[in-house]
Structure 1
Amino acid sequence: MKLTPFGKLFIVLVALGVIGFVAFKKYGDQLKTWSGASTGTAGTDGDKKPEGGDVTKDDFANINKGVSDAPREGGLNVNGGGQVGSKGLNRPLRVGINTWAGHAPGIVANGGMKPGSASSLYKKKYGLDVEFVLLEDPSAKLAAFIKGDIDVMWDTVDSFAREASELKEKGLKARAIIQEDWSRGGDGIVSLKTIKSVEDLKGKKIASTKYTPSHWLLLFLLSQSGLSPQDRAETEKNIVFTAEAPQAAAMFKAGRVDAAVTWEPDLSGAVAAREGEAHVLVSTTAATNVIADTLVARQQIIDEAPGAIQGFVAGWFDAISVMKEDPQSTNQLIADALKLTTDDVSGMLSGLKLTSYADNALFFGLAGPKSYFDSLFNGAFIIWRKKGVVNTVVDAPDFRDDRFVSALAREYASQKVEESFAFKDKPKVSDRAIVNKSLSIHFTTGSDEIMPGSYFTLDSLGETMLAFGNTYLQVEGNTDSRGNEATNKSLSARRADSVKAYLVKNFNLDPKRFVTVGQGSAKPVADNTTEDGRALNRRTDIKVVLNAQ
């Protein structure tokens, strides 16, 4: 049969369509990058200079993307185990730490700071000598790491994203090998009691240290708030930067600023210093999955002595169990090592969550499609680049090595993630919300069916709930004044329930974390006599409320 010109053209178009589909599936992310669209990663455009600009919510699109609330039942399903060598070290593994209780498991496993302790789990079980070196100053720590004076260094993921760029410029490879802890109340914002929410920071003076976990936390909280982009930019201009976090707290104590971002024990100390007029506005008690401490190893030591790194990670998890079994003795050991009191140690430990194998499996994405490490690292890099702090592009997978955690999958097959908080008593509608915002979520006319165009907005809200892991979400549906009042109230309640159902299904959130309210037309924010006013009144109000234990 002879093909007509039209037939030939049809075949060519079909062939091109197939080729185009295959190319998009295989190279979609690259195509987005070439076209200038964001793919939600740190980027791959070489050493392009930072563009600068204000921080927006979109900059944090990576935070917890694809992660879900930790499963509370049964163990984690981790496929296989990492393959690592057994070669050890003929000298002590040198680990740089600061005075922070998140390093406690390593100290306990080592029987102290120095190698050679008779009680060392590292030595007895893994044949490993470890020496912990106190390096309080982040710059001194990084310099020692670059020079090779230490093999492993302490870091927070947000800071590592900044330092990784510098390491890459120097040609030094390094990877995170274990998560030490989540900050759970150890970091936060102290403010005057008249400041009741993140939105109330507008127009206020805020003290913080620059390009630190404190700065990162503040930028994240502002991005999640109901402030407009212009208001957020103005709020950032009111930040007063100090050299160290205790100085930020001191400025608040002296009444020179309205709020300060700091960490414990200075956080509680600042509240006590202005008793009756100050409170903790928000902390990582609520924003549970934003600041993570990790340990980073030089690639050279990973390559030359993988057995030593494997023993170090395994002994770390062993020590967490020892600490649970004998808190009194282990707290004394930690206090002696860090030159603290046992009360200091107990206070620090109460503001963090030591992360077990199961926590690490979630953190590195071994039990799910995405990892907290990747999300935090890439999100932080984007922020630091926007602020002009870094130049050289880095991407999270190049700076983590999860094999040492993965290799322990069989040993911890039944371990599950444990949290100290639960969701029991629902908050009252009148309870203080730490974040307030109104969203335009569109529904089909007269129904509670969410229109697809609103999925992106709801996905951003889901990411907020994952970051604020110890909070409730109050969802209030609102309508304009047209129609029957009873019908409007019923419809707004069903729409609030639809928002809840979407988030529970797509982010695996605990249904007990939600309070839904149908306000109908009872709470207008604009004039119902105009179309523009009615459009503003057809909204969904969101309140993030702390889970009071």
Structure 2
Amino acid sequence: GPEPAGGGLFGRPSGPLGSDGNPLKVSIVSFHGYAPALVANGSSLETQPGSIFDRLGVDVELVIQDDIPTLPTIFGSEAAHCAWRTSDFWAQEHPNLRNAQMDARAVMVVDNTQGADAIIARDPAIQRVEDLAGRRVALLQFTPSHGMTIDAIDNSSLSARKKQSIKMTYINVDEGTAGVRAALEGGNVDAAALWDPDLSLALEKVEGAHVIYSTKTATNLIYDVIVCDAAVLDDPANDEAVGAFVAGWLQGVEAAEADPDKAVTALIDNEEFFGLLAREEGRDFVEELFSNLVWTGLEDNARILGMAGGTNHYERVYKRFDGIYRAAGALANPNAPVIDPSESFEYKYVKALLDADTTAQAAAQEPEFTFTEAQRAETTREEAIVTRPVTVNFTSGSAELNKRSERTIDEQMVPMIESHGSAYFQVTGNTDSTGARSANLSLSKRRAEAVVDYLVREWEFPRERFLVVGNGPDAPLCDESDPGAEGLSLEECRAANRTTRLAVHSR
């Protein structure tokens, strides 16, 4: 008869990887982003007859590890062959894995948070990232919430002194996001950065709680990937099983999207966490969580991984978060070499599926969001959620970009535009208080126009995304009569006031 699920004699795996005596084991946490894998497995942790994975000839065992063991622990103990990671957490942990004489590569993107991670506040005076100056933010250290918050503060128009005035309160990791929510509720902090479902629960239950910054606007910032042990990937005998696993999960995305109710049932039946949540908040609450993320199918993978001709967002954020977490002291060995992002992903599985699927190829070419002038007018009437000042150098009195100013735009504006995939932007030209106001107003507008022309021409961003404004001297970041208040000299203060600003507006 069939072998028991534990494999061969004394529970040792027998047979090739992905056969029923030796299932491909995947470590996950209780998170709705992974519902498609449950659906593909026949709404079960173990592959059911007739399920998507079964039809593709691969046996998959989903192992729930809510205590989030490290990758060296997961792979070293053979608890699993592959494991979930958020793209930022993976960038942070990859050097640690190599430090432990092991390696791994991501094989696919499984979800993209678009609203499931956010910074929220209770005080109505806090409406944008800049309003966090002098305030306390509760979060879990070295998690996506931390990386997202650092990224948002880094990209803000606060002076270095004001950035340093934002205090982080690290909640004990055992308390999790529920502890972060409790800190905001208890009034110990002014703001909190957290993810769903505690994010949605906080917005529903904490009086006055509102979103100030989230992945609904920073759509290309946090992805979930599945990473597999390099020892597994490097053995050609395992290729077929891993390929079938990737194909099956992506088919699971289509099945879950077609029948979200089935995905809810799969979560409730297999994960105690969701069973409790549904009992307390109702099934509808669980299903509503789905709207804050995208289960990424084949065409989404193609777009995110730059296989449809655009930017490889996965590699861009891998590099960005490596820098963020190194600076924050998250690495076990601070001298661990920087890993080239291309070494962190095994592209062949997604690529093979894409090469065989012309429909997905065509869909991946379509922009994820569309932009209109009418919507731009509406969104830019609201206050920006964060504004990045950039020193774009122009020759005195001129609005011509040179090679140096173009490079500045490429390095300091483009990544911010790419991260905020659904956003509209106000691009403002600014001057200091010297010179005639009327000349400054018209020059600052021409300069902002030159920046937007370059972004549209060279980077092919839709022109409808940008509102061009010339402020002249009317929107100073620093008071030139008291530059010391920001810890700046008069010249530094004037330089800050001359920056071109990229303001992010949520739709």
Distance apart, 1:470 and its partner CA:
1.7
Larger Rg over CA atoms? 1
Counterpart for residue 321 of structure 1? 254
Contact 1:335–1:345 (8 Å) recurs in 2: no
Equivalent pairs counted in the alignment come to: 457
Distance apart, 1:545 and its partner CA:
1.1
Question: In structure 2, what is the Cα distance between the partners aligned to 1:112 and 1:301?
Answer: 26
Paired AA for residue 149 in structure 1: A
Aligned residue for 1:544, secondary structure, equals: strand
Counterpart for residue 169 of structure 2? 239
Counterpart for residue 355 of structure 1? 296
Aligned residue for 2:385, secondary structure, equals: strand
Counterpart for residue 89 of structure 1? 18
Moved more, 354-363 or 139-148: 139-148
Question: In structure 2, what is the Cα distance between the partners aligned to 1:188 and 1:453?
Answer: 35
Contact 2:82–2:226 (8 Å) recurs in 1: yes
Distance apart, 1:527 and its partner CA:
6.0
Distance apart, 1:113 and its partner CA:
2.5
Aligned residue for 1:242, secondary structure, equals: coil
Question: In structure 2, what is the Cα distance between the partners aligned to 1:135 and 1:427?
Answer: 47
Q: TM-score, normalised by structure 2?
A: 0.82
Question: In structure 1, what is the Cα distance between the partners aligned to 2:112 and 2:205?
Answer: 27
Contact 2:17–2:23 (8 Å) recurs in 1: no
Counterpart for residue 255 of structure 1? 187
Which of 497, 500, 504 aligns to 2:449? It is 497
Provide Cα deviations, 1:403-457, integer angstroms capped at 9, x if missing partner. Answer: 1111112322232236774323114554111112443333344442123332343
Provide Cα deviations, 1:499-538, integer angstroms capped at 9, x if missing partner. Answer: 111122333322211111233455566569xx96876654
Question: In structure 1, what is the Cα distance between the partners aligned to 2:188 and 2:495?
Answer: 42
Paired AA for residue 465 in structure 1: I
Question: In structure 2, what is the Cα distance between the partners aligned to 1:114 and 1:131?
Answer: 6
Which of 92, 111, 117 aligns to 1:187? It is 117
Mapping of residues 262-301 of structure 1, within 5 Å: 262-275=194-207, 277-301=208-232
Distance apart, 1:398 and its partner CA:
2.6
Q: Which runs of 5+ in 2 are unaligned?
A: 1-15, 482-489
Counterpart for residue 443 of structure 1? 394
Provide Cα deviations, 1:24-53, integer angstroms capped at 9, x if missing partner. Answer: xxxxxxxxxxxxxxxxxxxxxxxxxxxxxx
Paired AA for residue 378 in structure 1: K
Aligned residue for 2:358, secondary structure, equals: coil
Contact 1:100–1:348 (8 Å) recurs in 2: no
Question: In structure 1, what is the Cα distance between the partners aligned to 2:435 and 2:104?
Answer: 63
Paired AA for residue 247 in structure 2: A
Paired AA for residue 198 in structure 2: D
Counterpart for residue 333 of structure 1? 266
Distance apart, 1:393 and its partner CA:
2.4
Question: In structure 1, what is the Cα distance between the partners aligned to 2:141 and 2:475?
Answer: 40
Provide Cα deviations, 1:244-273, integer angstroms capped at 9, x if missing partner. Answer: 222111100110100111112222322333
Counterpart for residue 544 of structure 1? 504
- Could you say if the C-alpha distance between residues 185 and 314 of structure 1 is closer, same or farther in structure 2, counting changes exceeding 3 Å? same
Distance apart, 1:539 and its partner CA:
4.2
Distance apart, 1:351 and its partner CA:
1.2
Counterpart for residue 413 of structure 2? 461
Aligned residue for 1:139, secondary structure, equals: coil
Paired AA for residue 206 in structure 2: R
Distance apart, 1:359 and its partner CA:
2.1
1:217 to 2:158 alignment: no
Provide Cα deviations, 1:300-324, integer angstroms capped at 9, x if missing partner. Answer: 3222411000001111222222223
1:423 to 2:371 alignment: yes
Counterpart for residue 59 of structure 1? none
Counterpart for residue 466 of structure 2? 514
Contact 1:182–1:355 (8 Å) recurs in 2: yes
Which of 104, 107, 110 aligns to 2:35? It is 104
Question: In structure 2, what is the Cα distance between the partners aligned to 1:540 and 1:375?
Answer: 23
Contact 1:427–1:472 (8 Å) recurs in 2: no
- Could you say if the C-alpha distance between residues 133 and 226 of structure 1 is closer, same or farther in structure 2, counting changes exceeding 3 Å? same
Question: In structure 2, what is the Cα distance between the partners aligned to 1:295 and 1:147?
Answer: 18
- Could you say if the C-alpha distance between residues 282 and 448 of structure 1 is closer, same or farther in structure 2, counting changes exceeding 3 Å? same
Paired AA for residue 363 in structure 1: I
Aligned residue for 1:433, secondary structure, equals: coil
Distance apart, 1:106 and its partner CA:
1.4
Question: In structure 2, what is the Cα distance between the partners aligned to 1:522 and 1:115?
Answer: 63
Paired AA for residue 516 in structure 1: V
Moved more, 531-540 or 495-504: 531-540
Q: Kindly, what percent of the aligned residue pairs are identical? A: 32
Counterpart for residue 347 of structure 2? 402
Moved more, 328-337 or 186-195: 328-337
Contact 2:422–2:506 (8 Å) recurs in 1: yes
Contact 1:178–1:294 (8 Å) recurs in 2: yes
Provide Cα deviations, 1:317-370, integer angstroms capped at 9, x if missing partner. Answer: 222222233333343334323343342442221111111212222333434486
Counterpart for residue 307 of structure 1? 240
1:117 to 2:62 alignment: no
- Could you say if the C-alpha distance between residues 410 and 306 of structure 1 is closer, same or farther in structure 2, counting changes exceeding 3 Å? same
- Could you say if the C-alpha distance between residues 420 and 215 of structure 1 is closer, same or farther in structure 2, counting changes exceeding 3 Å? same
Contact 1:190–1:259 (8 Å) recurs in 2: yes
Contact 2:35–2:266 (8 Å) recurs in 1: no
Provide Cα deviations, 1:356-405, integer angstroms capped at 9, x if missing partner. Answer: 21222233343448632322223322333333332132513332211111
- Could you say if the C-alpha distance between residues 333 and 419 of structure 1 is closer, same or farther in structure 2, counting changes exceeding 3 Å? farther
Question: In structure 1, what is the Cα distance between the partners aligned to 2:369 and 2:198?
Answer: 24
